[in-house]
Chain A
């Protein structure tokens, strides 16, 4: 327990901390709400009045201990059914780091929610029940994390108290999961034995598992490198908005405003504007009120170029030395997120970075079953929570990267032009970093998975 004075002493550190976005996934009864509640409670992120409310409701229900799951179950329908129906965002901080948690439900009909949570996550926590081990849902969660290219995955083996804290149980589950997720190309997997209910290895080290020498869940979250692969990639700068004050003070100012999607921009660098292909040089970078020589993802900046060329929202500025190719034929994996189906021939809008173009779904070569990664050729359409391959033809060229190379410039939405519904979350290029998929029957199309 830190005293108030200690906390004040930590304030100086708080001002310069990093931000980690992570997501949780677990099956219905794995105790995910309890884990999240425990994380918030034991990291002193739950405040007195929130805890009092939880204690009151728990007592009303005749529970003998405060039900930490109540800290996170927000909507009335969820409280009535005791489940989580939508992604909820939680916020907490320690002296070392600020956290944004996308808390996603784990049941099968909510694949789209886990896809949503994982899309912005640097890390995913997959929860399993030590008594059940790796089940279909666990494999599905691993597959979603792999598909969304989440850099770090934590396997939290929960309810260790119900298997007498036995190392052999944990080791077998960890081994099976790690083999499966590695095959899918998950780059980094950390397995941690926990009891969310009893508090073992969530925030505080367990007194029951001397055989485990690794970090607690919170220690791992505090120390895992925040993904900076973003800056190792070639620079990508989608133009959001053109700033032209045309005022007496700034008669000729023309700045291209946007958030750097990946890589590093430098003053003096030769750049190409896509899709037009025109070239220029970066003359200046304004980083929200300060003129700088260098800026990197994910900073929001305004870029000024030497030449007065026609650039508008939806264009992409990239270093001439590593500019992407443009294409009107997009091959991608999509997760279908809408209630209405997506069929071959559908006319849709495709939103990629700051550019929205008309498009037609030319083919749906296969649907993927996440439980066993089997492919089902030519499903004809995709329905809610389906994962599938699509071929889309766009009305205008896109400067699209492979999702494997850049999550921000390799991702897109398919939107229903009639009512604006988001139909699908798209990831350009190959599904997985490995050759894990197996085809149910011979695939005439010759997909090179």
Chain B
């Protein structure tokens, strides 16, 4: 086998120079990483230990091999992350000899710069620590794992998304995305958010993880866990809080489809203990990833649009 491309041989017209959709998406993402490396001074990769950021890092490692990744990592830690995910994050950083910056929501709350919300969720509180870390550390390109299939406002996001010095996103003032020519020019103090997985779907991400044999935090797979139900989601108690009066805790076989803030990331009932089982489950799922598991996207139809304008991921 002297070709790395995974051939698709069901139609004569596409052979022999066809690329499978995963190869096409991988090549595009690698191209994006290399463009940023070639054009920016100080890029950073947002890395949470969630599956999308894990795939991003895997692609970055491939893009520059055998040299190391020429970027540092940044994690905005809400203080309510799953311990399994933080452990995975630190192990991964260590293994690849990378440098991780952590911007902590807890520090901002302790310093009185942010106030805890009555509902206990900290996801919306990530914006300020993120934007201040970008300013303080002078990052000019920030890689995020956002995908355009996730939500309607994200469908209008660009691969290279210019942000002003307040990190604001203006959907009406985006640069057109022409061919594969990404324009990353920006004024001092501005930065560009870059989304290498823009054109991937949840299923693509999982298929790629399976194909590449990428290790994930175990909470993505079915396991027994003590959970309670709130707003139609199974939540795990932790430092952020737990079951209130009238909410009962029970042990269920569940897994997480996304990992974020423990207070607003719900688990789904599942017995999918392997990658193949997870992929089969997703392929037949009749609920979108976020609609099923993220309370913060359900807030209002325009919630994500408003938050993106303020500088959220």
Contact = CB atoms under 8 A, between A and B. Distances in A.
Interface stretch (B76-84, B169-177, B222-230): B169-177
Contacts of A293: 2-3
A41 B26 CA distance: 28
Contact of A228 (B17, B30, B66): B17
Nearest to B192: A420
B131 interface: no
A86 B305 CA distance: 14
Interface residues of B, number: 75
A259 B180 contact: yes
A286 B38 CA distance: 19
A241 B37 contact: yes
A98 interface: yes
A212 interface: no
Nearest to B290: A49
A93 B18 contact: no
Interface in B107-166: 148-149, 152-153, 155-156, 162
A296 interface: yes
Interface string B180-191: 110101110000
A425 B183 contact: no
Interface stretch (B42-50, B195-203, B213-221, B260-268): B195-203
B238 interface: no
B287 A48 contact: yes
B176 A337 contact: yes
B244 interface: no
B204 to A, nearest CB: 8
Given A120-B177, A286-B65, 13 more contacts: A16-B6, A47-B285, A47-B287, A49-B292, A74-B153, A243-B67, A245-B67, A247-B67, A289-B65, A295-B3, A298-B27, A299-B4, A425-B176
Interface of A: 4, 7-8, 10-11, 14-19, 47-50, 53, 57, 72-77, 79, 85-91, 93, 98, 100, 112-113, 115-116, 119-120, 225-226, 228, 230-231, 240-241, 243-245, 247, 249-250, 253, 257-259, 264, 286-290, 292-300, 313, 337, 349, 351, 353-354, 407-408, 411-413, 415, 419-422, 425
12 contacts: A10-B283, A11-B279, A15-B211, A17-B20, A18-B21, A75-B305, A120-B180, A243-B65, A244-B67, A245-B67, A257-B63, A289-B62
The 6 closest A-B pairs by CB, nearest first: A420-B185, A287-B4, A74-B152, A49-B291, A245-B67, A231-B17
